[in-house]
Structure 1
Amino acid sequence: MACDISQRILSTINEHGPTDSIKLSALLKEDHQKIVGAVKSLQSLGNVIDVSQETIKEWKLTEEGKIVAEKGSHEARVYYAIPGDKGISQAEVMKEGPYAKVGFSKAMSSGWICIDKSSGSPLVKQKVPSIVDSVKENLCLILSNEADKVSDALKQDYKKRKLLEESIIKCYALKRGPEFSLSIVKAETDLNTDMILSGSWAGKEFKEYNFDAFGLPPSGGHLHPLLKVRSQFRQIFLEMGFSEMPTDKYVENSFWNFDALFQPQQHPARDAHDTFFLLDPQISTTSEMEYLRRVKNVHSKGGFGSKGYGYEWKLEEAQKNLLRTHTTAVSARMLYQLAQDGFKPVKYFSIDRVFRNETLDATHLAEFHQVEGVVADFNLTLGHLIGFMQEFFRKLGIDQLKFKPTYNPYTEPSMEVYCFHNGLNKWIEVGNSGVFRPEMLLPMGLPENVTVIAWGLSLERPTMIKYGIDNIRDLVGPRVNLQMVQDNPICRLDKTKSSTGDLMKSVLQQWDQIFKEVENLRKEVQDLKVGMGESGDSTGPGIDDLLINGSLNICIFADPVRPPYSLNILVNILRQQIPITTAVHVHSSMENIPDDLKNFFSCGEVLDKNVSGGISIRLVWKPVGLDPTMVITPTSSGPITGEVNIARLMCSFLKGDLGLNYRHPCSLNTLLIDHWLDLIHKDVIHGEKSDLASFEGRISCKLKEAQCVTGNEITIVDLCLWSALKNLQLEKKFIYQYPKWYEKISQYC
């Protein structure tokens, strides 16, 4: 059948010349799709015909339009419904049909009818003796395939009236090709043995090879998405210096799974509805009897500074076998062995299967994989734990984290870790974390000043986030689509690198934004100086370049709840180089401002209008929130927002080297300063408690290595940090922990 259509198409082109598939469909009385299929078949023969795709607009009558073409337009029907000069009431007109209202309106606007009120009650009468129903005539033309005789404006009008609809049809224009022929010879696709033996291949035409075509994909095994993500997790742990723990024991006894972790024997997690217990073998024993005795005592009587739980600890309960509910049982064994071998700081990790008697839903299974990290060292804090987790999840490409306090029997403090799932459009729990309790660690024989921090998360939920799966049963279990396993790409986590090159690139980008205002000021002042006949100075945006007509006016709006203490320090430093006058104002919306804020600046509180040159600074206390705002006049620049950004600008005014100069965006020291200023703005000023704890963990490492944050000399980082700590009432804590840093900062404040 297809061959017959192809032959008829060739004959038609030979007789009538160039045509298109729509005309062929009408001429040959075949469905358009069949014509298209035959055309593509002819294309595969080579250059028999030339084919080009075209787009044709076609106008068709709607159901309402077909009624108009048959019975006349709505307005014409209303006109003919009115009897001569007698007229008819409007209510009677509206009974003429469902389109009477539209017809009445159109007939009125066309001037065909009118309303006569001279006889009392209003009557609808014919206004003209005769009419021409052009709407019906035009629709009949379109219906008879003569749409080109109707103007485009009328077509659009009929389309608005829903009498016409426009359809776009894709078709093919056809004409004779260089190798046109009426006989169809199908090219051979294979050279077989019979052709070679008989020699018939010499008289046959073969189809050209398509070397761009894809070959058949090779068959083979495919890694499950869980295994792909697992390998990436393992690589991240190894990059962070962790060692893998042996996790080949799916069956544990209750002692290592619960008791060694200081989890009481009456805890609900040890019930059968939460844990899978074994029937055969039902119990097992442990050889560490002295350790078992210490665990029993700390549970029953307390010890190591703890009161314990005060219950009768039972050996038979600790001997019950179960499918391990967490890999923390493995961590307990490793920590105990570490204590016996002589403690040294370690970092362990494990990724393996655990079992819980859970209710199955979109995010929970009875069998899943747990990822666990354990760090044992001297004097670790919660800040170190948060810092480890943020770095770990950052390497996973997950930066939307929240930490929520929780309770665990064997950790204190404890936190749940939440991550935002874009597919579910909500926060989901991805892990748990905490600091192991002394009641767990000291019976093992670990030193008292050793702290162990740990966190655990499932492997399934990060995999769901990575691959956009919103139901865990589509990832693991009998509902898994094996094609999904084959089609999903390899796991490439969006890891970020903290190399010096990346740091310089990111900081240089934000440098352009932060100092855009300074550059605008410099150019504006330079243009003014040139216009006044002064010589330009291109040495940089110093304070002399920024003064307009001998003075610069700065107004700063700040909230008395969060005073910008770094500003006071910087003003006093600038006074060593240039004259500065200051004034403090209180907005009318503020009440009960403390006296120390009314006298915020240590000197020069009164603005002296007779002083020429220098900088005039006005500080206005008003409720503006966490970020103060600086406005500089007379300039066309916009405001500068945020204490750290104001400090950047004020510090750039300094001439020479006072230890705070901030004028060289390409120097590595300036990049480091920018990095820490951004952290202070994000984690200390605007951050939550978890962000602040993470920042404390980072800053403690720096202040233990050097006297100041970026080295042994004070920079604006230290000034802004002092201001933020003072607003949070944490300065005394830092004074106690880092006396050398306070000794340095006290020289300025």
Structure 2
Amino acid sequence: MSGILMYKAEPYYKLDDLNNIELPKCMYKMKNLHKEQSDGPKSAQRGSSSGSGALEALEQRQENILRDLDALQTEVAAMMQHLPASVKQQASATAAGATCGQAQLEGPVRDIVINASPSSPPLSLFIMYELLKQQFRCFGSVHVHSSVENVPEGLCKCLGNGIRSDLRNRTDFQLAITLIWKDVKPSPQMMMSAAYQTPIHGESNVARYLGRILQPSYDSLDPVTATEIDTWVDMASTQVLLGNNKERAASLRSLNSRLGKHDWLVGSGLTLADIVMWSALHQTGQAAGVPANVKRWMVACNGQPAFQSALKLTQS
């Protein structure tokens, strides 16, 4: 049976046809979008109107727009020459404020989430929040994580509205700060981008971020002034808050020496350095036994309206 065929069929191709098969050079063909193949005057005219004609129209439109912008700029410049000097100065100040001077928060709500331990509340946050409310439409909310228990009532209302979940009017605000009391150590954590989920650690760094929202021109300050502020902020964070007794004592001596000749830590007014240092002294329990110069400075800080809400928390 092995040598017997079950059936036999005629071949469906001829050997001579194999040499005449045309194989494709590409998978598929499509019309040339840039220029049609020209095989005569009509085809060339058609390609020019559909391809290069549309491109020329787009170029002409762009040239018209640029020409109109140049004309508008020239017209505005001519009008500015006839304005009073006071109006010119006001316009220049407005333009400068929009770029680097005054704080600007345009667009959607800027969301900031801060995790902090209720055993060591970041008092500088509450001061910065009061200052931010004077300049922006701020929304604050407080929540308690399951990792902590028995959070004092004052801490639950530290942003002025207590624990709430009603966010229906959230879009009416420019800045939203959500504080979550959570078991985080050794310092607070801030999330300022839901997309990247990269936390910022440390009360001093949180204060720096909020300070730049409050004063966008901070980075354009005199380098010496900016460095002095950063030095005191770092001292408050590393030596007062997280340092040992020897480091804290040394910081207090430096602080007392500085305030013996100046009313504020840097410059002639309140800065971020005063806010963070004031917070660090209260959190470590050193506020009650400070030297005379530091005590006078703390009284001046306590008299600032933005410190009132944080001061109440230290007394509760």
Compute the TM-score of the two structures, normalised by the length of structure 2: 0.59
Partner AA of 2:259 in structure 1: L
- Aligned residue among 138, 144, 150 for 1:586: 144
| Greater share of residues in strand | 1
Question: How far does the alpha carbon of each residue in 1:704-734 deviate from its partner, in whole angstroms, 9 at most, with x for none?
Answer: 1111222431111111111111111111223
Describe how 1:662-677 pairs up with structure 2 within 5 A. Answer: 662-664=218-220, 666-677=222-233
Task: Please name the residue that 1:565 is paired with.
Answer: 123
Task: Please name the residue that 1:610 is paired with.
Answer: 169
- Once the two structures are TM-superposed, the CA of residue 602 in structure 1 deviates from its matched residue by 3.5
Task: Please name the residue that 2:193 is paired with.
Answer: 633
Q: Does 1:720 align with 2:276?
A: yes
Unpaired runs of 5+ residues, structure 2, are 1-96, 308-316
Going from structure 1 to structure 2, the CA distance change for 1:715 and 1:633 (only over 3 Å counts) comes to same
Going from structure 1 to structure 2, the CA distance change for 1:714 and 1:604 (only over 3 Å counts) comes to farther
- Aligned residue among 175, 184, 188 for 1:624: 184
Distance in 2, Cα, partners of 1:738 & 1:679? 15
Going from structure 1 to structure 2, the CA distance change for 1:541 and 1:617 (only over 3 Å counts) comes to farther
Describe how 1:518-537 pairs up with structure 2 within 5 A. Answer: none
Question: How far does the alpha carbon of each residue in 1:51-74 deviate from its partner, in whole angstroms, 9 at most, with x for none?
Answer: xxxxxxxxxxxxxxxxxxxxxxxx
Describe how 1:440-459 pairs up with structure 2 within 5 A. Answer: none
| Secondary structure, counterpart of 1:702 in structure 2 | helix
Q: Is the 8 A contact 1:702 1:710 kept in 2?
A: no
Task: Please name the residue that 2:22 is paired with.
Answer: none
Partner AA of 1:590 in structure 2: V
Distance in 2, Cα, partners of 1:728 & 1:655? 28
Going from structure 1 to structure 2, the CA distance change for 1:543 and 1:553 (only over 3 Å counts) comes to farther
Going from structure 1 to structure 2, the CA distance change for 1:588 and 1:641 (only over 3 Å counts) comes to same
Question: How far does the alpha carbon of each residue in 1:369-416 deviate from its partner, in whole angstroms, 9 at most, with x for none?
Answer: xxxxxxxxxxxxxxxxxxxxxxxxxxxxxxxxxxxxxxxxxxxxxxxx
Partner AA of 2:143 in structure 1: H
Q: Is the 8 A contact 1:552 1:633 kept in 2?
A: no
Partner AA of 1:591 in structure 2: E
- Once the two structures are TM-superposed, the CA of residue 744 in structure 1 deviates from its matched residue by 2.2
Going from structure 1 to structure 2, the CA distance change for 1:736 and 1:666 (only over 3 Å counts) comes to closer
Going from structure 1 to structure 2, the CA distance change for 1:594 and 1:735 (only over 3 Å counts) comes to farther
- Once the two structures are TM-superposed, the CA of residue 604 in structure 1 deviates from its matched residue by 7.7
Q: Is the 8 A contact 2:239 2:248 kept in 1?
A: yes
- Once the two structures are TM-superposed, the CA of residue 638 in structure 1 deviates from its matched residue by 2.0
| RMSD (Å) for aligned C-alpha atoms | 2.6
Question: How far does the alpha carbon of each residue in 1:616-643 deviate from its partner, in whole angstroms, 9 at most, with x for none?
Answer: 1110011111310110134436221111
Distance in 2, Cα, partners of 1:583 & 1:636? 22
Q: Does 1:643 align with 2:203?
A: yes
Q: Is the 8 A contact 1:587 1:621 kept in 2?
A: yes
Describe how 1:505-544 pairs up with structure 2 within 5 A. Answer: 539-540=99-100, 544=104
- Once the two structures are TM-superposed, the CA of residue 735 in structure 1 deviates from its matched residue by 7.9
The percentage of counterpart residues that share the same residue type is 28
Partner AA of 2:115 in structure 1: F
Going from structure 1 to structure 2, the CA distance change for 1:574 and 1:605 (only over 3 Å counts) comes to farther
Q: Is the 8 A contact 1:709 1:717 kept in 2?
A: yes
Q: Is the 8 A contact 1:541 1:653 kept in 2?
A: no
Q: Is the 8 A contact 1:554 1:631 kept in 2?
A: yes
Task: Please name the residue that 2:249 is paired with.
Answer: 693
Q: Is the 8 A contact 1:567 1:647 kept in 2?
A: yes
Q: Is the 8 A contact 1:665 1:671 kept in 2?
A: no
Going from structure 1 to structure 2, the CA distance change for 1:595 and 1:736 (only over 3 Å counts) comes to farther
Describe how 1:707-746 pairs up with structure 2 within 5 A. Answer: 707-734=263-290, 738-746=294-302
Q: Is the 8 A contact 1:558 1:620 kept in 2?
A: yes
- Once the two structures are TM-superposed, the CA of residue 562 in structure 1 deviates from its matched residue by 1.1
Distance in 1, Cα, partners of 2:153 & 2:291? 25
How many residues in Structure 1 have an aligned counterpart in Structure 2?
Answer: 207
Question: How far does the alpha carbon of each residue in 1:178-224 deviate from its partner, in whole angstroms, 9 at most, with x for none?
Answer: xxxxxxxxxxxxxxxxxxxxxxxxxxxxxxxxxxxxxxxxxxxxxxx
Partner AA of 1:539 in structure 2: T
Task: Please name the residue that 1:416 is paired with.
Answer: none
Q: Is the 8 A contact 1:627 1:641 kept in 2?
A: yes
| Greater share of residues in helix | 2
Compute the TM-score of the two structures, normalised by the length of structure 1: 0.26
Q: Is the 8 A contact 1:581 1:616 kept in 2?
A: yes
Distance in 2, Cα, partners of 1:602 & 1:538? 30
Partner AA of 1:576 in structure 2: Q
| Secondary structure, counterpart of 2:142 in structure 1 | strand
Distance in 2, Cα, partners of 1:541 & 1:626? 35
Higher relative contact order (CA 8 A, sep 6+): 2
- Once the two structures are TM-superposed, the CA of residue 590 in structure 1 deviates from its matched residue by 0.8
Question: How far does the alpha carbon of each residue in 1:542-594 deviate from its partner, in whole angstroms, 9 at most, with x for none?
Answer: 7545x5x4211110000111100000011111111111111111111111111
Going from structure 1 to structure 2, the CA distance change for 1:587 and 1:603 (only over 3 Å counts) comes to closer
Unpaired runs of 5+ residues, structure 1, are 1-536
Going from structure 1 to structure 2, the CA distance change for 1:666 and 1:604 (only over 3 Å counts) comes to farther
Q: Is the 8 A contact 1:648 1:662 kept in 2?
A: no
Task: Please name the residue that 2:109 is paired with.
Answer: 551
Q: Is the 8 A contact 1:558 1:622 kept in 2?
A: yes
Task: Please name the residue that 1:7 is paired with.
Answer: none
Distance in 2, Cα, partners of 1:663 & 1:591? 40
Q: Does 1:599 align with 2:157?
A: yes
Distance in 1, Cα, partners of 2:275 & 2:149? 28
Q: Is the 8 A contact 1:542 1:653 kept in 2?
A: no
Describe how 1:413-424 pairs up with structure 2 within 5 A. Answer: none
Going from structure 1 to structure 2, the CA distance change for 1:732 and 1:574 (only over 3 Å counts) comes to same
Partner AA of 1:664 in structure 2: S
